[in-house]
Every structure is written in C-alpha cells, then in structure tokens.
A and B are shown apart, each in its own frame.
Chain A
Amino acid sequence: MSQTLSNPNAARDHARSMAGTLVEAMPMLPPVADDLPAGVASDDLVWEETIAPGGYATRRLARGTRLRLIDLKGDACASMLLFNAEMPSERLNVADTVKVQWNAYLGAGKLLLSDMGRVLASIIEDDAGTHDTFCGTSNAATNAAKYGDGRNSGPYPNGRDRFLLGVAKHGLGRRDVHPCVNLFKGAKIAPDGTIMPQVGPYTPGRSMLLRTEMDVILVIANCPHILDPREDWTVTPLRATAWRGPVTPDSDPVRNATPEGLRAFQNVEDYFRR
C-alpha cells in the first residue's frame, strides 16, 4: 500500500476510487427517499441520513420542517438535544416540557418546549410509544463501568461525549449539553419513584414524525439507553429523513389542543413577529 501511494497523484487516485461507496450508516447527498408520505414532493426533501449504532448526527432545520425518525431494526435510542438556531442559549427544557403539559410521557400531540416558554418541536405522529424524559444519556464513566470503555475513539461510545461533538460543530461546548429526551427507549415510573426502563428490542421500523416550530439545531446521539440492562453494548441504526413543510397554521389541532400549549405557540408566533 505505502508503495503504490508513495506520490500525491497515486494517493489522490486511491482516495477518488472510493467515490460512490455505499454503507449502512451514511448521509445521502442529494437526499433521496422512496418512501415519502403521499403529498410530499421529492424536491422538498432536505435530509436523508442513517445514523450508525453509537453514532451521532446534527443538523439545522428550518421552522416547519417535518422530521421523520425510524428505528430501522428495533434497537435504536435517539437521545436528542434541541436549540433555537438563532439564539442557542434558548434550548429544550425537559422539566418545563413535562411540567407545563402536566405529563411526563411523550407521544403524538406532545410538545418539546424551550426554556423561554416556546415550542421548539411538536410530535405529530408516534407509533413507538416508548420514550423517556427522565434518565438522560450515558457518559464516559457509566460506559467505562458497564462496558469497560466509553470513549469516542473506542468501541462503546457514550451519549454525552457524542452530544459534545455534535454541539461543538455549531460552536457550542460543555455548558450547552443540556438534559435530553430519549426517543424509542422508554422509562415508566412506579408509585415509589422507581424507574422502569423499557428498552425492547422492538419490532423493526417503528417511526415518529416531528415538526419543528422554530429554526432549530438538532443533535441526535444513537447510543444504548443509560439504563439498558443488557450486558452487551447493544444499539442499531437510526434513520432520519426531513422535508420542508408549512409553518403551523392557527387552525392546527396540536397547536390548539391545550391552553398551555396554545400559549407556547402564541409565544413562538410573537417571537417571529418582527
């Protein structure tokens, strides 16, 4: 190898010969998806990426974008951070999300609220039903204790360090990795406060559809749930697809479902009144 690549032209040819390689976890550019919902034009597709087990992805999404997440093989865990892209000091507030909606369990119709009283994203569809607002994600220490290693450079990356890399791509840092939500892996609470993790594995292909209500920075880490009881580090690929959509209208049923949620939408609309 070192012989044939001993000059720049050979190294260039070698690098170029990789073009067109397809692997399981990668972005598709330009985005292409043959399973868009009826009525969605392929021209409106903005993002198509499969996130590796243990990998992460991050993207800026405009207000009104539809984000579909698919747990391709039934064992993904989408740990998610959300920021107002225009002013990232505004971010997902998990406590406000559960307190304002008087409920801790995420599902269709639920809102992901910022610390400024606004809706960052709505959950439009959900056929998974197992999500988690309580447990957060793994860190280097928990993965080292559980799997023997948790480094980004090792075989068992942890969620927090994935988040750190993700936020860093937007100029953010350690102070910006806020409490997260976990999608596709759940946690139920017993009357005495005991956390009962729900980690499956589940039927392949469960999906969720989110709608961004502001311009957001999204960071997703796909690492095993922090309370996954399995001895082995187990996680499967997560697919993300996003397409353009209209800004939520006044008549939207999710917008109007509760008085608290309506005021959160009114705060968003007020923010964009400029």
Chain B
Amino acid sequence: MSDDPHLAGLSGTILHDITVPARAPWLHHIAAGQTLRIVDLEGNQAVDFLLYSAQDDAERYSAQDTVAAQGNLFLRQGTVLRSNEGRPMMTIAATSVDYHDTIGGACSCESNTLRYGHHTKAEHACVENFLEANLLEGRGKRDIVSNINFFMNVPVEEDGALGIVDGISAPGLTVDLRAEMDVIVVVSNCPQINNPCNGFNPTPVRMIVSA
C-alpha cells in the first residue's frame, strides 16, 4: 500500500501518473473501464476538460446533453458525462468537491478581450491549450465545444445572473472519472489570472489513471 494520500481509494494498477504543470495542456487516451483521478494539488485550480470518443472523434462531450439528461446544471458524484449523441462517455464515480461546472466554458484570448479588455489579448488561455492538444491528433477549432470545469464554481441566481466565483475546492481534493467507452481526454490546466477560478494563481494538477 502506498502512503500517498492522493492514491487513497484507487483500486487496481496505476497505469499513468503525471503532474500537469500550471497553464499547460494534457491529452491522454483512456480505455473503457479505466478510471482517471484528477487531484487539485494546491486548491482552487480550474481544470478545463473535453472528451472525444476514441473510435469516432466527431462524437464528443456535450454539456447540454449531460445537463438535460440529469435535469440539473451541476456535475456531482453519479453524473454521467454524455456525448453529443446522448451516449455515456464517463461517469463521475467519486468526488470530494460538492459539484463541478459545465456552463462556464473555457477562457479564450478573444473572450478575454470582452470580459477584461483588449490588454488581455496576448495572455495564455484554455482555448489555446485545447487547440494545441487537439491539433496533435488532427482535430481543430470545430472540435472545441462547451467543456467541463472541474473544481470551478458557477452558480446561477434567480434572475439568471451567473459568474465564476470563489472556488469550493481545496488542496488535495479529487474527482474520479470512470470511462464508459474508449475516450480521448483533452485538458487545459487553466491559466486564467483575471478571475477567481484559479485563486488568481494557476497551479499544477495531478492526473492518475488506474485500472
């Protein structure tokens, strides 16, 4: 048994274990039945997350199909992450955070100009990471859709007001995702420094795949 608290509760063999640096992309293929654990090492780090079917990458994660199927906006333990064709891609098997976001989307150089001003145009952004990773496998801009933001908090008020607010994550909190089909995971370890999603300080996250 390992003394590493980040491995607690994971069964089977560790197939892959890597720390994704702050601000960086990550792409990994995960087979059906394997589990991906994401560890928010230092707390309040948004992990922007997309999924593609490994067999047919025109089938991909759909935030809208996911929330409509469960009748709720928040991603919690038990949530089935669904594709644009309605099929289960992964299931949130466990998480030590109350809920995760899938309506806030990913920051981009272009949306940063709207949200903060044109002085932020040159800052690194999640869409840059998504593009860089996806281009390695022949996917491009058309393949970037509404994503998940693990460890990010986007409440919706009664009048529809919404915003990215202070995180509900903390150092060492985790989410475990069980693959329901062979998937390609594309992550941007969010580099945003203009809102509270990363506590104004992007930090590394750890990715552990087990089977």
Residues in A lying within 8 Å of B, measured CB to CB? 89, 93-96, 98-100, 102-105, 113, 115-118, 134-137, 139-142, 160, 173-180, 189, 191-195, 226-227, 260-261, 263-264, 267
Cα separation A176 to B58 with both chains bound (whole Å): 9
Beyond A93-B105, A105-B159, A179-B63, list 15 extra A-B contacts (CB 8 Å).
Answer: A93-B146, A95-B147, A98-B103, A99-B154, A99-B162, A102-B162, A113-B114, A117-B109, A117-B114, A135-B67, A136-B68, A177-B84, A179-B64, A189-B160, A191-B158
For chain B, residues 132 to 160, give those with C-beta under 8 angstroms from any C-beta of chain A: 140-147, 154-156, 158-160
Q: Is the CB of A102 within 8 A of B141?
A: no
Q: Is the CB of A135 within 8 A of B64?
A: yes
Q: Is the CB of A103 within 8 A of B71?
A: no
Cα separation A25 to B59 with both chains bound (whole Å): 32
Assess A176 versus B111: contact at CB under 8 Å? Given A95-B104, A99-B104.
no
Q: Does B164 contact A (CB under 8 A)?
A: yes
For chain B, residues 50 to 74, give those with C-beta under 8 angstroms from any C-beta of chain A: 58-59, 62-65, 67-69, 71-74
Q: Is the CB of B140 within 8 A of A104?
A: no
Chain B residues within 8 Å of chain A by Cβ, number: 51
27 contacts between A and B (CB under 8 A): A89-B141, A93-B105, A95-B104, A95-B105, A95-B146, A99-B103, A99-B111, A99-B115, A100-B111, A115-B127, A117-B111, A134-B73, A136-B65, A139-B84, A139-B85, A141-B86, A160-B85, A173-B58, A175-B143, A176-B142, A192-B72, A193-B99, A193-B156, A194-B72, A195-B72, A264-B114, A267-B110
Residues in B lying within 8 Å of A, measured CB to CB? 58-59, 62-65, 67-69, 71-74, 84-87, 99, 103-106, 108-115, 117-118, 127, 140-147, 154-156, 158-164
